[in-house]
Amino acid sequence: MSIRIGDVAPNFKAKTSIGEIDFYEFLGDSWGVIFSHPADYTPVCTTELGRTASLKGEFEKRNVKVIALSVDSVESHKSWINDINETQDTSVEFPIIADEDKKVADLYDMIHPNASETMTVRSLFVISPDKKVKLMIVYPASTGRNFTEVLRVIDSLQLTAKYSVATPADWKDGEDVIVMNSIKTEDIDAKFPKGHKVIKPYLRTTPQPNK
């Protein structure tokens, strides 16, 4: 199946490195990140999982639960985690799904046949507390993900979910944001009392409202 932004993220039950889970129950009321890996004991994946583990505090600060996926077994995952912890100087505590039958990979369209018939590409989905898909990023198997960008986008998603704003190119948390065009210029001050700038009638900026 094909998943698009705004779709409800499919639920599933699966074996993982921390035991069996129901995906929705695992997420609870949190935001979620689910991301796939072509296989265990692969070098790029080892660095990615290590980096994710080292960012545990950053994900927790944003109320985000992380779960990874690989098509290998639970036993393989547990052994691989030891390697990740050793080589990346970290401690992997989030679950890794053992998707041996590729059920979850198929649900989330993680296998792209023209890239590989058997391995997942590096798919990453951000899921909101109402279980909607808010972001999809897909990398080829050869390219490691940029987790600074993942956190940046989560900041933007959480901000724009609460306020009538958008974030401009290269925006980082704390910088000015764009006022949505659905708000009339004469109504901006009432909604955003920190002030605003009118660059063009369709391009108005204001300081980040939650800072």
The total of other beta-carbon atoms located within 10 Å of residue 113's CB is: 7
Which member of 9, 27, 33, 45 is catalytic? 45
Distance CA 170, CA 148 (A): 12
Distance CA 27, CA 42 (A): 27
In one letter, which amino acid is 71? Answer: V
What is the 8-class DSSP label of residue 180? P
Task: Clarify whether 111 is annotated catalytic.
Answer: no
Averaged pLDDT, groups of 10, the chain, 211 residues long: 90 97 98 93 95 98 97 96 97 96 90 58 92 94 91 98 97 97 96 96 97 89
Predicted TM-score of the model (pTM): 0.93
Beta strands across the sheet bearing 64-70: 19-22, 13-16, 96-98, 64-70, 31-37, 122-127, 133-139
